[in-house]
């Protein structure tokens, strides 16, 4: 296991506002997150596991955990979200993309948020950050495979949705995302710079 460059991680570690007035700490995932990621999967509801893995997966294997946390931040990038106001700043969500073989500018995205933290805008924020990182790394389109009962989450995106098998849709989302999707001009400016580490926004009391 090789730890990533600490400067790379710290330049992309930030506390951002949520739509409900709360806040969330985000940074790129690192190999030392492996144990916490394994525990987080056990905290997902059966429905959330099905939406993420297309099956009722109870745990991740050691090989899967290595794959999900020991990444190159170019062809495979992942953000982790943590609660900065809870004891131990626990992880509450992950967003990642993996570049598709043979399609240099296409990647498959995935976003997962623990059930207790859903409906607070964390997933949308992680997805926007993921898109920004993808564009910075030469990705021009997200392609995902989504269960039909999860398609409502994509209503605000300019997505091409195709059904190639019952109950599952293939979704193509052009990048960069429409700036109008972002809730404020401040957030638009932040997202434009954070993926490449050009700015590191924090709240005043985080100094």
Share of the chain above pLDDT 90, in %: 36
Q: What pLDDT was estimated at residue 155?
A: 57
* 172 vs 157: CA distance, rounded Å: 10
* 3-state percent helix, strand, coil for the chain, nearest multiple of 5: 35, 25, 40
CA 123/CA 143 separation, integer angstroms? 17
Instruction: Provide mean pLDDT across the span 97-113.
Output: 91
Asked if pLDDT for residue 57 goes beyond 80, the answer is: no
CATH class of 6-179: alpha beta
Q: What is the pLDDT of residue 1?
A: 58
Residue 125 has pLDDT above 70, yes or no: yes
Strand ranges of the sheet holding 141-147, from the earlier edge strand across to the other edge: 14-17, 23-28, 76-82, 91-99, 106-113, 141-147, 168-174, 160-165
SS3 of 104-146: CCEEEEEEEECHHHCCCCHHHHHHHHHHHHHHHCCCCEEEEEE
Confidence check: pLDDT of 45 > 80: no
Mean pLDDT, residues 141-152 taken together? 73
Higher pLDDT pick, 38 / 207:
38
Q: What is the pLDDT of residue 201?
A: 46
Q: Could you read off the pLDDT of 69-99 as tens digits, one per residue?
A: 999 999 999 999 999 999 999 999 999 999 9
2-6, 31-35, 199-203: least confident range: 199-203
pLDDT at 52: 56
Please provide residue 106's backbone torsions phi and psi, each rounded to the nearest 5 degrees: -125, 135
Tell whether the model's pLDDT for residue 31 goes beyond 90: yes
| Cβ–Cβ < 8 Å for 94, 81 | yes
d(CA 62, CA 65): 5
> Which of 27-31, 65-69, 144-148 bottoms out in mean pLDDT, i.e. has the lowest?
144-148
Residue carrying the six token digits 């805008």: 121
Separation CA 35–CA 172 (nearest Å): 32
Residue with the larger pLDDT of the pair 146 and 18: 18
Who has greater pLDDT, 166 or 25?
A: 25
The distance of Cα 157 from the centroid of its chain, to the nearest Å, equals 16
Which one is predicted more confidently, 68 or 103?
A: 68
Predicted confidence band of residue 3 (pLDDT cuts 50, 70, 90) = confident
User: Nearest Cα to 126, choosing from 97, 150, 147?
Assistant: 97
Side-chain half-sphere of 117: how many Cα atoms within 13 Å?
Answer: 28
Q: How far apart (Å, rounded) are the C-alpha atoms in residues 80 and 32?
A: 12
């Amino acid at each position: 296991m090789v730890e990533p460059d600490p400067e790379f991680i710290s330049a992309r570690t930030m506390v951002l506002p949520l739509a409900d007035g709360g806040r969330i700490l985000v940074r790129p995932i690192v190999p030392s997150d492996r144990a916490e990621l394994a525990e987080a999967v056990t905290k997902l509801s059966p429905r959330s596991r099905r939406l993420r893995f297309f099956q009722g997966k109870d745990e991740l294997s050691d090989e899967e955990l290595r794959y999900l946390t020991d990444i190159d931040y170019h062809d495979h990038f992942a953000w982790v979200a943590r609660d900065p106001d809870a004891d131990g700043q626990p992880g509450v969500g992950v967003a990642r993309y993996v570049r598709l073989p043979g399609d240099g500018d296409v990647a498959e995205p995935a976003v997962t948020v623990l059930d207790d933290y859903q409906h607070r805008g964390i997933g949308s924020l992680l997805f926007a950050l993921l898109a920004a990182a993808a564009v910075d790394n030469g990705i021009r389109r997200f392609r995902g495979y989504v269960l039909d009962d999860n398609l409502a989450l994509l209503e605000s995106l300019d997505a091409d949705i195709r059904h190639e098998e019952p109950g599952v849709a293939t979704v193509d989302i052009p990048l960069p995302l429409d700036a109008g999707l972002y809730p404020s001009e401040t957030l638009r400016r932040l997202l434009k710079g954070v993926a490449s580490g050009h700015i590191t926004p924090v709240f005043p009391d985080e100094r």
